[in-house]
Amino acid sequence: MKKILLSASFGLVLLLCACGSGEETGSEGASTADGEAVYRAASCFSCHGADLEGASGPDLTEVGARLSEDEIRTTIEDGTDVMPGGLVEDPAELDALVEWLAGKE
C-alpha cells in the first residue's frame, strides 16, 4: 500500500511539474511570448507565408517600415476586408507579435 501511495505521489509531482509552460512571467503575471511563435501558433503563416514573404496575404518582410506598431496592432485586432480580426486575443501574445512584426524593416 505504501508503494502505491508513494508511486501516486511521485506521479502527481511529475504531472504538476510538467504543467508549467516554461515561459517566463512579467511583473503583471502575463506570460512573455515570442512573436514568431505567436505568428506560427495563430496560423498567420497560412496567408502571409512561413518566411513572411506573402502567399494569399500580403508580404510582411518589411511591414515595420510601412506601418507603425499601432497600425499593426489595429490590423491584427480589427482585421481587414479579407483578414479576420481577433486571431490573437492574449494581450501578452499580441504585444509580442506586434513588436516582432514592427521590427521587420
Which residues are annotated binding-site positions?
A: 44, 47-48, 83
Dist. CA 68–CA 23, nearest whole Å: 27
Dist. CA 31–CA 44, nearest whole Å: 20
Cell of 65: 517600415
Residue with cell 505504501: 2
Residues tagged in the binding site annotation for heme c: 44, 47-48, 83
- Cα-flanking dihedrals φ and ψ of residue 31, to 5°? -75, 140
Query: How many other C-beta atoms lie within 10 A of the C-beta of residue 104?
Result: 17
